[in-house]
Structure 1
Amino acid sequence: MKSIKKLLPYATPYKLFVILAPLLMALEVTMDLLQPLLLQKIIDYGIAENDTTYVIQMGTFMIIAAIIGLIGGIGCTIFSTKSAINIATDIRRDLFYKIEHLSSENRDRIGTGKLITNVTSDINSVQQAVMMTLRVFVRGPLLFIGSVMIVFFQARELFPILVIIIPILLFVIILLSRKAGIWFKRVQEALDQLNSKLQESIAGIRVVKAFVRKEYEINLFHKVNVALTNKTKVAEQIITILMPVLLFVINIGMAVTLLFGVFPIGGSTIQVGVILAFINYLNIILMALTSSSMVLMQLMRALPSADRIQEVLEISTDRVESTIDEMPIKGDVEFRNVSFSYNKNGEYVLNSISFSASHGEKIGIIGATGSGKTTLVKLFPRLYDVDHGEILIDGQNSKNISLKHIRGSIGFVTQKPFLFSGSIKSNLTYGKKDASETEMQLASKNACAEEFIQKLDARYEHPLTQEATNLSGGQKQRLSLARAFVRKPSILILDDATSAVDARSEAIILDALKSSYPKTTIFMVSSKISSILDVDKILVMEEGSLVGVGTHDELLETCTVYQEIYQTQVQTGGVMVE
């Protein structure tokens, strides 16, 4: 319930709608409550006394009340819908904003599947709860209270029936609502697992097909799907049980009422109109409690969703965010005893890393798989923050420089190239909105992408599918390189960024790095010594430690690990040394 209260400020901009919706619903309820009372008057006074004028008069009042109720109901529906949708839209906006600003540690901890559920299913549950609260939850209690009060004043002989059945009805509603809330929370958790599996399977569909594992993936999805189905069945069955139970109790009440009409009470017989009105009010009470219980069920479903939404909104990024305007970054970088752990359990992926690079230097990074190369370069743009030590950029601790300023000065090409749906142009200008066509062409030429772009009918306006599945792996990697080149960054990070291109293209790209970006500090992660032969300095990584720093020739003399890598690649024909 605390999470619901914390989300209430989102209703402030729409408080006029929030106020009008229940007021109009109150108007509709008042008109609905008048109907049985007017019907009683028609039967007991109009028809019983054969007073046609009275019947017409009361009938006219019933029609007018129905029209007024219709107007109130339509107005309530319009304003409650506007309120709920706008509130949900604002929550979704802020939630996506928060997700975009989450640190990598937080995203890893929460999981992509859960975040997708937060933005879709969870917000939809909250939206439905708001809509039903403004409409049905106002209607239900008002109908209930109004009916009880009218029965007390107009049919007091039958009021004891309500005194007996209402506590039974309330007990059933509260009991089932609590159980439903527990199961709907489990449903949302199962939906998280389903979304995670679905996203993973779709993203890795090529791997699935390549390894002929479609049946395996189908079986895994079947398991999470069945788990979701079973939990949803239980939750929905709890809801469906409610209506028959409530109807049973009300029917018992009706039967007792008719018995009261047959047998005189206190020496007098209850009028037919009173009995008919009471039965109508019993039905109204049933409708009121049923609708209220449905809202309560929706609230029980929305409460876990609100908790999950609030959990993400309240996450602290644990980052120092400087707002000071910085001088342009030149590209001097220094690591001082940097250690880092993903799990924060003392098992460091990087251990006491120290080195420096001056702006304009080309630095190669090499090592065996799992040695920490990719983790090292992720620390430059603060995708992760160091646990111990510090990273200096132009002599300043990177934590004292705003993220926007650091990342705006870095070009990053990841191991697995990622392109967005849209055009080639929209991807190339992703990091520099005002890039000119000349800049795009130069960057594409340096990345060896110009040659295949010019063969496309629409060239730079060529549309890309989601994740650019209509391009080859090499084409995607070259476009990723071009996107980074367009920025003309002070620091350029290439994480095995030429692994999918041919040797000729790689040679052109390496030559372009030397000639076209002389003032850019470049860090090149590579598994091939041939790609980093001519850099100014090579960092050799092994099991998270820096075991060698120097040029190619220096490391061949001083670093055992580098010698082993060199010998292995020479023996397999992977290194050509002039």
Structure 2
Amino acid sequence: MLKLLRNLKPYRRAVAATLALVFLQSLSDLYLPTLMADIVDLGVAAGNTAYIWKVGGFMLLIAAIGVACSVGASYWSAKAAGGFARDLRSRVFAHVETFSLGEFDRVGTASLITRTTNDIQQIYQVLTIMMRVLVMAPLMCIGGIVLAMSKDATLSLVLIAIVPVLALLILLVFRKGGPLFKSMQTKLDRLNLVLRERLTGIRVIRSFNRDEHEAERFVQANRDLTDTAIRVNRLMAAMMPVMLLTLNLAGLAILWFGGIRIDGGHMQVGDLIAFIQYAWQIMFSLVFASMMLVMLPRASASAARINEVLAIRPAIPDDGKKRSTAVPDIEFRNVTFRYPGAEAPALENVTFRANAGEVTAIIGGTGSGKSTLIHLIPRFYEAETGQVLVGGTDVRELSQESLRSRIGLVPQKAVLFTGTIADNIRCGKEDATDEEIRRAAQIAQAAEFIAELPEGYDSAVSQGGANLSGGQKQRLSIARALVRRPGIYLFDDSFSALDYRTDARLRQALRAETAGATVLIVAQRVSTVMDADRIIVLDEGRVVGNGTHQELMQTCGVYREIVASQLTEEEIA
């Protein structure tokens, strides 16, 4: 928690203003009971009406000052805490943006969302209260004890007896509440994960009649979170009555012994009234402190989770200094890659070269490492051993911005964003003109279906492109890469949702558009890769074939098996 509070430095003036105003508010609150005692003892008892009006007016002024200070403290504390939360969210988001896919896999997307939103909100709420209670509680407690003792030191023994009891109650709640609040945040992660999977996978869930199973998963995660929340609330519910009972017993004790002190002539009625008010101020300052301490365990758990994210050092640091050269050749030299925790490598001793101006296709069975190979080029993952070179330079020596600016990637799963069709294509090039967008859509074979939409390129795309078919989403993803006109095109099984006719037309249009660029195509269909200048055949992470279609038919058994499984004998011939 303290580590994160260093981010308050830009708001030190707002924090200082809050603390100063709370200090003045506390002084005004402490002064009012003394004025009340004077009114009773010197005004009411003596029948001095003028004195009552005079001191009463002064009390109103002090009270008004206290109210003004309270409003100002609320404003500045909200300003400082709100700015702190905003900056922390931006810092966490920017840090997460530097993560490789490995860090996302390890922490989990649902957990990162929870930490960036809910966890930071918990810290914001505690910080808003803490800036006020931090000054008010100790000042009201200590100041109240001193002023109460000044009224009657003997009666103050009641306070000295009751304060440790309240402090012990607060300590017990703090120790029991901490683990529960930490557990709540973890279970909130789980609930968000289940909910996210349910909503994003709704088509699959319904198609396989898994609604009841997924509903049970949600109910279980929700029940776990609810049970923990109930335990926390029971603890809070038990604490407040016990504390109020203690406060009321203390009040009764003060009235009892105070009456005895007045009867013995040791104190006046006004002093007893002031003493009672100081006692309530002391005890309520402890209640306010307990409220903050109750919230503090949850905020501490949230702070630990945020610090955990900020402490993660990306496995793939952006420490490259060189810029990508004009030559977009790609070369793999004895590359081996293993996913964290995997027993066998996903790629092993992969070596091949993809030259500029050529189309290099990668084919292989499911799980052979095709997509993994593609992800090593833009450094989504880091090779365990060996080198991946772009333009003759190891990708680890290139800045990620420079490297990725040369690449147009079409992922295996088409990802679209809310906005218009033009906006989604323009993601590839922010300053793309309308003409460039239309040309990219034309080459990607998307112009025809876009023209049929009521608003054309201004037609809305819903979240994830849910209002478009799989083939339409793939073609828009391809157009997004084409509008960039990069030196390297990476198509990761990007034609799977297209019919054979559209696939053929698209590959023909791409030939002319990508002349001079390096093109890598990952595909399942033999018809998609047959015309490639070079075909790389992968089997269980190893290169088992490298050549043209005709060469591989003569030399590579794995490739012949793939061809035989997809084409008839007449088509092969």
TM category, shorter = over 0.9
Looking at structure 2, the residues matched to 384 and 101 of structure 1 have their Cα atoms a distance apart, in angstroms, of: 12
Matched, 1:157 2:154: yes
* Partner residue in 1 for 2:269: 272
| Aligned mate of 1:510, from 504, 507, 513 | 507
Matched, 1:321 2:336: no
* Partner residue in 2 for 1:80: 77
| Aligned mate of 2:190, from 190, 193, 202 | 193
1:21-58 deviation line (CA, Å, top 9, x unaligned) = 11111111111112222222222222122221222222
Looking at structure 1, the residues matched to 362 and 114 of structure 2 have their Cα atoms a distance apart, in angstroms, of: 39
Matched, 1:238 2:235: yes
- TM-score by length of structure 1 reads 0.96
| Aligned mate of 1:426, from 420, 423, 429 | 423
Looking at structure 2, the residues matched to 346 and 460 of structure 1 have their Cα atoms a distance apart, in angstroms, of: 48
* Partner residue in 2 for 1:255: 252
Secondary structure at the aligned position of 1:228 is classed as helix
| Structure 2: tracts of 5 or more residues without a match | none
* Partner residue in 2 for 1:226: 223
Is this contact kept in 1: 2:177–2:294, CA < 8 A?
yes
**Residue 220 of structure 1 aligns to which amino acid in structure 2?**
R
Matches within 5 A, 1:415-564: 415-564=412-561
| Aligned mate of 1:174, from 164, 168, 171 | 171
Bigger mean CA offset, 83-92 vs 30-39: 30-39
Looking at structure 2, the residues matched to 106 and 170 of structure 1 have their Cα atoms a distance apart, in angstroms, of: 43
Deviation at 1:504, TM superposition (A): 1.2
Deviation at 1:9, TM superposition (A): 2.9
Looking at structure 2, the residues matched to 103 and 527 of structure 1 have their Cα atoms a distance apart, in angstroms, of: 27
Looking at structure 2, the residues matched to 140 and 29 of structure 1 have their Cα atoms a distance apart, in angstroms, of: 9
Looking at structure 2, the residues matched to 487 and 366 of structure 1 have their Cα atoms a distance apart, in angstroms, of: 26
Secondary structure at the aligned position of 1:389 is classed as strand
**Residue 398 of structure 2 aligns to which amino acid in structure 1?**
I
Deviation at 1:577, TM superposition (A): 4.4
Is this contact kept in 2: 1:340–1:351, CA < 8 A?
yes
Looking at structure 2, the residues matched to 142 and 178 of structure 1 have their Cα atoms a distance apart, in angstroms, of: 25
Matched, 1:353 2:350: yes
Secondary structure at the aligned position of 2:521 is classed as strand
Matched, 1:402 2:399: yes
Deviation at 1:430, TM superposition (A): 0.7
Bigger mean CA offset, 54-63 vs 162-171: 54-63
| Aligned mate of 1:92, from 89, 93, 105 | 89
Looking at structure 2, the residues matched to 136 and 524 of structure 1 have their Cα atoms a distance apart, in angstroms, of: 62
Is this contact kept in 2: 1:340–1:386, CA < 8 A?
yes
Matched, 1:36 2:25: no
Looking at structure 2, the residues matched to 200 and 278 of structure 1 have their Cα atoms a distance apart, in angstroms, of: 60
Bigger mean CA offset, 267-276 vs 528-537: 267-276
* Partner residue in 1 for 2:300: 303
Deviation at 1:503, TM superposition (A): 1.3
Deviation at 1:236, TM superposition (A): 2.5
Matched, 1:139 2:122: no
Looking at structure 2, the residues matched to 286 and 160 of structure 1 have their Cα atoms a distance apart, in angstroms, of: 14
1:217-254 deviation line (CA, Å, top 9, x unaligned) = 11110110111111111123222322212111122212
Secondary structure at the aligned position of 2:3 is classed as helix
Deviation at 1:457, TM superposition (A): 2.6
* Partner residue in 2 for 1:312: 309
Secondary structure at the aligned position of 1:337 is classed as strand
Looking at structure 1, the residues matched to 324 and 367 of structure 2 have their Cα atoms a distance apart, in angstroms, of: 36
| Structure 1: tracts of 5 or more residues without a match | none
Looking at structure 2, the residues matched to 479 and 497 of structure 1 have their Cα atoms a distance apart, in angstroms, of: 11
Secondary structure at the aligned position of 2:155 is classed as helix
Looking at structure 1, the residues matched to 320 and 370 of structure 2 have their Cα atoms a distance apart, in angstroms, of: 31
* Partner residue in 1 for 2:328: 331
Deviation at 1:495, TM superposition (A): 1.0
1:411-465 deviation line (CA, Å, top 9, x unaligned) = 1111110001011111111121121222211211111000011122322221111
Change (3 A) 1:336 1:558: same
Instruction: Give identity over the alignment, percent.
Output: 39
Backbone CA RMSD of aligned residues: 1.7
Deviation at 1:177, TM superposition (A): 1.3
Is this contact kept in 2: 1:417–1:477, CA < 8 A?
yes
| Aligned mate of 1:368, from 350, 365, 368 | 365
Deviation at 1:75, TM superposition (A): 0.5
**Residue 185 of structure 1 aligns to which amino acid in structure 2?**
K
Is this contact kept in 2: 1:17–1:83, CA < 8 A?
yes
Looking at structure 1, the residues matched to 300 and 516 of structure 2 have their Cα atoms a distance apart, in angstroms, of: 55
Is this contact kept in 1: 2:553–2:559, CA < 8 A?
yes
* Partner residue in 2 for 1:46: 43
Is this contact kept in 1: 2:320–2:396, CA < 8 A?
no
Is this contact kept in 1: 2:323–2:403, CA < 8 A?
no
* Partner residue in 2 for 1:204: 201
* Partner residue in 2 for 1:566: 563
* Partner residue in 2 for 1:71: 68
Matched, 1:393 2:371: no
Is this contact kept in 2: 1:260–1:270, CA < 8 A?
no
Looking at structure 2, the residues matched to 98 and 264 of structure 1 have their Cα atoms a distance apart, in angstroms, of: 65
Is this contact kept in 2: 1:151–1:278, CA < 8 A?
yes
Looking at structure 2, the residues matched to 327 and 244 of structure 1 have their Cα atoms a distance apart, in angstroms, of: 68
**Residue 448 of structure 2 aligns to which amino acid in structure 1?**
E
Looking at structure 2, the residues matched to 386 and 541 of structure 1 have their Cα atoms a distance apart, in angstroms, of: 17
Bigger mean CA offset, 268-277 vs 67-76: 268-277
Is this contact kept in 1: 2:163–2:283, CA < 8 A?
no
**Residue 12 of structure 2 aligns to which amino acid in structure 1?**
K
1:56-98 deviation line (CA, Å, top 9, x unaligned) = 2221121111101011001001100111101100111111111
Is this contact kept in 2: 1:329–1:409, CA < 8 A?
no
Is this contact kept in 1: 2:324–2:390, CA < 8 A?
no
Looking at structure 1, the residues matched to 61 and 215 of structure 2 have their Cα atoms a distance apart, in angstroms, of: 60
Deviation at 1:344, TM superposition (A): 4.7
Looking at structure 2, the residues matched to 278 and 322 of structure 1 have their Cα atoms a distance apart, in angstroms, of: 66
Is this contact kept in 1: 2:151–2:275, CA < 8 A?
no
